[in-house]
Structure 1
């Protein structure tokens, strides 16, 4: 990654070694959040480049991973598993269906529901998806020692935990409307 968050006391507009996007003054109170935003944007961009080669868009591979792992799922279960919303999942499943990677079949236990299942064509993609994710991991973690990789993962899990806790807290300002 060529962007970094300036260190404390450093002029954000001046940037630092390898900084290609200065931190705006308005984001000065949230340098970690700004870095996460930039990192997530770049990660999605590179993931998109790798996935386009195999006919997928970012996010679609996550749906496929769950279907390969768990077998046919109701769309509502996919929404829950991926912490998505119904409209996004509907579009994702429709696109995967149009590409021939999933199909719908009636649920044997609930006449109102259908199950989304991977097709044989999608099973052929599994190895390519796994290789794309391995390439992305190596790109992201290039130059990190095994201990640094472990610590980075631990830190990211802690940040995620903090946000999950905040979202679950009814008094959290981020969830107030």
Structure 2
């Protein structure tokens, strides 16, 4: 079905771009849960969803004052906000809608929520989302590195 709607591959490219970035974000939450707690908790949190891991990391970061930890928490908060759109993309189809008005027929491609249909994302929005996800993943790498360095005895104000 996607091939009929996504003839030039732009949708697939933007979806792939955003999912590769979120894969990196997912990996960083696992890294945080390996490095931040004093006790080993990986087996206990292995089945947590991304939002749950972010919530737990926020709680763990509360015990660590400093700019590096505040920056990490802020970037993780943004990742959690973007998770709503990521889930819309992951769990709903790309559709071709044909609209009729007095001026004739037009068509629009969009990913549309199967639960009510009022949430939708069009290509430009998806492309902007993918770019933001990539930027956020890059920033999270730097924040995670700074926080881990601070935990290991470096400065938390980096």
More strand per residue:
2
TM range (shorter): under 0.3
TM-score (norm 2): 0.25
Structure number with greater CO (CA < 8 Å, separation at least 6) is 2
More helix per residue:
2
TM-score (norm 1): 0.23
